Amino acid sequence: YESDGLPEEYLGNLLVTSWGDHRIDRFRLQPKGTSFTSLAEPLITGGENFRPVGLATAPDGSLFCTDWVLRDYKLHGHGRIWRIAPKETRKTPAIDLVSIPQRPSSELNGLMKSPRREVRRIAARSLARRPNKGEFDFLLLPQQAQGRMGLEAVWTLETVQIAEAVWLIKLVDDDDPVVGWSASTPGTTSRIGDFFGRGDKEVLARLIKEAFADLTNNGGKRLGDFAPAVLAKFASDRLDQSDRAELLRLSMSIDDPFVFGTAVTTAARHFKQDDFAKYLIPDATPDVKASAPRVRQAMLLAARKQAPREDRLLRVALADHDPDVRRLAVQWAAEEKLTDLKPRVAAMFDSKGMTTELFLATIAALEMLDGKKPEDFDKTPAEQYVVPLLKDEQRSPAVRAQALRLVSPTDKSLDAPLFASLLKSDHEALRLETVRTLQGAKPELSAPLLSDILRNEKLDVTIRTEAMVGLAAVAKSEPVGGPTRKLLRTFLTNTSLVPLRVEALRAARSLIKDDLELRDGVLEIAKTMRLLNDGALASELADQVALAFAEAKLEPPQELQLFTPAKPKDRAEWLAQLNRDRDGDPATGRRVFFHLNGAGCFKCHLVDGRGGRVGPDLSRAVGTMNRDRLIQSILEPSREIAPQFVSWTFELKDGKVVTGMVVHENEGKTIVGNAEGKLIEIKTIDIETRTPQKISVMPEKLAERMTLQELRDVLAFLDSRR
């Protein structure tokens, strides 16, 4: 094979002369009307900066690609073609895939051990279609079916629809973990006997139930993680309608995307529109109980797959009480350009249980139904769409509250009169979202409004504590003796409203180094803690005071010694402390998450549209990890870093160095987010080198910026997002 290189000034396009099961003779980068020299290139490793695109496999199993044409990629220039292959492959003759089915069985058995998946797959299917079935059954014997070879044999059985008996015996007998199930249990013999004695459908249905029960109760230890998906896919053509309905119910009992996808495909293939209606239309069929939201989601996707232009069931789904079902319905209407449904989509804004995802999907759907391209919508700032909704007094308070979450607190369209009018609303959620937006507004705008709320004793303590969070930023911007600092001082000694006292202490703890008046208020708390009857409150106040003095690098009051145990020293101690004693409070955890004093989670992470855009959106991300892993990500952020969140050091042509995570890279711009949550825009052409870092952009020792109870509360808040 030749690698045809071009001079640096040429970019060109990747052209492939043939594809699929046929030999690929050569790859070429060739702009029209140009000529170039053919170069024989050795295999060269591109290193960490190697960014392959245009991937394709050759008949010998090697991988061909071209590098990403970037000016800062200096290893060899631009637009070269690379061949990546194991050393032994370079000495192995290419296999013509088209010739495999005609080869003798002895050769096919040998090809089943090939490292190339397509060679194994064609060999297995060729053997399965031979008149002598024993040749294929030989592959299923335990001593033969090893690793990928066994897996390929099992999948081939389903594809060519060989007798279920052989497949099921393989399923319950195999103990190879790569094949995906280990069922060598005492019940194996009896199950095989049942199969031959009572017929395949009954046993198949029973095995499906066992597989789902195993995955639900044992984590798939006996039958393997993806056995239910394989079983469900294999069974879809062999069960009657009632059994398929039961299969659907079982599929929705576990949170597995492969099983969910199998259920959707099965329903689309075998159900009719009236069958979907049983699950989507309330009380459509008396003997069908109310289906779970995941079942309705699957039925809606299956109905669309079967009849994308039929809107009878879509109209029902647009009125579903579950926001995720409605989001799928809105997406269906927009992508299929069902313009007659635009009024129903627009009415979605006033539906109950609105979520940020549904809100954004509704805006996007209306734009698409008006003919706007999705890529143009993605490039438009959210404020352009949501500010008109926010200012429209005819809109419901719920819609305006959702819009507030998506507008930057410093947006010029948000002025004092608008905030004042929103705070007068009778709608509690709208008032609360207004206060939360003011937390990030400029101090000169937020200070008078938040101060009035905090002083208003007629208001609920919840909204007053949220106002205190915003005043922490205002106080930090003021000089010593400022009005907001004096207001905080009055609440430090307010023993009647404990939540406000704790919030005042949290707001003051970054200020006591230079503000003696606030320090005196904190010292007064330390001196009176022994008089408290609530041990848990005394412990939390002591931790808050200790953290305040530690941040100020001052000697802590002696009174704290009785109330502040040493912080955990290692991961095991942290896990033990965070999983015992007091439960966390999600509401307090939210205030800590968005608080200026503390870990500063909000600077990098989004939750329900609020926060920074450097790290992952935690509205959904926490659902992918258990509690221990969530704790680990806070205590040891650099221990495990997903590829898309790797931090980089960029050296620019002018000598400047920028370190952070790539948030966005397109159209000649690279947006980098740093540890403070700030976004830095760089012209991609100005990047001289980029070097990946082993340390996460998420700061170390975050736990030391919070009290133990604050960390419990933050974990409770994130857990509540699942």
Please say if the pLDDT value at position 166 is more than 50. no
Instruction: Identify the three-state secondary structure at position 660.
Output: strand
Q: CB of 707 within 8 A of CB of 543?
A: yes
Residues of the chain above pLDDT 90, percent: 33
DSSP letters spanning 286-352 = TTSPPPPHHHHHHHHHHHHHH-TT--HHHHHHTT-SSHHHHHHHHHHHHHTT-GGGHHHHHGGGG-T
- pLDDT tens digits, residue range 380-428? 777 788 899 999 999 889 899 999 998 999 999 999 999 999 999 999 9
Please say if the pLDDT value at position 167 is more than 60. no
Closest alpha carbon to 469 in 592, 584, 607, 587: 592
Instruction: Identify the three-state secondary structure at position 635.
Output: helix
Average pLDDT over the chain, rounded to an integer = 77
10 Å CB burial of residue 256 (0-12, 13-18, 19+) is: buried
Task: Check residue 184 and give its pLDDT.
Answer: 31
10 Å CB burial of residue 47 (0-12, 13-18, 19+) is: exposed
Strands 687-692 and 679-683, how do they pair?
unpaired
| Amino acid identity, position 457 | E
Q: How far, in Å, are 231, 681, 711 from residue 526 at the CA level?
A: 64, 46, 21
614: how many CB neighbours lie within 10 A of its CB?
Answer: 24
Q: How far, in Å, are 8, 130, 433, 487, 551 from residue 354 at the CA level?
A: 53, 58, 14, 37, 41
| Amino acid identity, position 682 | I
Structure tokens at 712: 């419990």
Please say if the pLDDT value at position 148 is more than 50. yes
Can you say whether the dihedral through the CA atoms of 162, 168, 171, 174 is positive or negative? Answer: negative
Closest alpha carbon to 377 in 394, 362, 393, 356: 362
Q: Which of 465-474, 479-488, 526-535 has the lowest mean pLDDT?
A: 526-535
Q: What is the mean pLDDT of residues 597-616?
A: 88
Query: Whose structure tokens read 């290139």?
Result: 41
Distance (Å, whole) CA 546 – CA 708: 12
Q: Which residues, in sequence order, are CB contacts of 322 under 8 Å at separation 6+? A: 293, 296, 297, 353
Q: How far, in Å, are 428, 490, 722 from residue 478 at the CA level?
A: 30, 17, 39
Distance (Å, whole) CA 181 – CA 198: 24
Q: Which of 128-142, 323-337, 585-599 has the lowest mean pLDDT?
A: 128-142
Q: Give Cα 611 distance to the centre of its chain.
A: 16
Task: Please name the helix (run of DSSP H) or strand (run of DSSP E) that holds residue 648, with its range, or none.
Answer: strand 647-652
Structure tokens at 53: 């695109």
82: how many CB neighbours lie within 10 A of its CB?
Answer: 20
- Pairwise pLDDT comparison (128 vs 241), residue with the higher score: 128
Q: Which of 203-217, 387-401, 634-648, 670-684 has the lowest mean pLDDT?
A: 203-217
| Amino acid identity, position 284 | A
Please say if the pLDDT value at position 186 is more than 60. no
Q: CB of 437 within 8 A of CB of 414?
A: yes
Closest alpha carbon to 589 in 707, 500, 464: 707
Single pTM value for the model: 0.68
Q: CB of 387 within 8 A of CB of 403?
A: yes
Task: Classify residue 601 by its DSSP letter.
Answer: G
Distance (Å, whole) CA 64 – CA 53: 9
Task: Check residue 522 and give its pLDDT.
Answer: 93
- Pairwise pLDDT comparison (377 vs 657), residue with the higher score: 657
Query: Whose structure tokens read 């308070």?
Result: 397
Distance (Å, whole) CA 476 – CA 679: 23
Q: CB of 191 within 8 A of CB of 204?
A: no
Residues of the chain above pLDDT 70, percent: 70
Task: Please name the helix (run of DSSP H) or strand (run of DSSP E) that holds residue 575, with its range, or none.
Answer: helix 571-578
Q: Which residues pair with 679 in a beta bridge?
A: 673
Task: Please name the helix (run of DSSP H) or strand (run of DSSP E) that holds residue 438, with its range, or none.
Answer: helix 428-438
| Amino acid identity, position 142 | P
706: how many CB neighbours lie within 10 A of its CB?
Answer: 23
Please say if the pLDDT value at position 456 is more than 80. yes
Closest alpha carbon to 697 in 679, 716, 715: 679
Structure tokens at 509: 């703890």
- pLDDT tens digits, residue range 60-102? 667 777 765 444 444 444 556 777 766 665 566 678 888 999 9
Closest alpha carbon to 116 in 176, 57, 157: 57
Task: Check residue 179 and give its pLDDT.
Answer: 39
Distance (Å, whole) CA 138 – CA 170: 11
Question: For the CA atoms of the chain, what is the radius of gyration?
Answer: 32
Task: Check residue 91 and give its pLDDT.
Answer: 63
Q: Which residues, in sequence order, are CB contacts of 589 under 8 Å at separation 6+? A: 710, 712, 713, 714, 715, 716, 717, 718, 720
Q: CB of 413 within 8 A of CB of 383?
A: yes
Please say if the pLDDT value at position 19 is more than 60. no
Query: Whose structure tokens read 């392959």?
Result: 52
Structure tokens at 622: 């926490």
- Pairwise pLDDT comparison (7 vs 529), residue with the higher score: 529
pLDDT band of 579, cuts 50, 70, 90: confident
Distance (Å, whole) CA 552 – CA 239: 70
Task: Check residue 29 and give its pLDDT.
Answer: 38
Please say if the pLDDT value at position 680 is more than 60. yes
Please say if the pLDDT value at position 449 is more than 80. yes
Strands 81-84 and 606-607, how do they pair?
unpaired
Q: What is the mean pLDDT of residues 219-228?
A: 48
- pLDDT tens digits, residue range 275-317? 889 888 876 655 555 568 888 898 999 999 999 999 999 999 9
Q: How far, in Å, are 325, 434, 474, 511 from residue 454 at the CA level?
A: 40, 14, 13, 19
Task: Check residue 443 and give its pLDDT.
Answer: 95
Q: Which of 38-47, 578-587, 706-715 has the lowest mean pLDDT?
A: 38-47
- Pairwise pLDDT comparison (159 vs 327), residue with the higher score: 327
Task: Check residue 313 and give its pLDDT.
Answer: 94
461: how many CB neighbours lie within 10 A of its CB?
Answer: 13
Strands 687-692 and 63-67, how do they pair?
unpaired
- Pairwise pLDDT comparison (698 vs 467), residue with the higher score: 467
Q: What is the mean pLDDT of residues 681-691?
A: 90
Q: CB of 711 within 8 A of CB of 598?
A: no
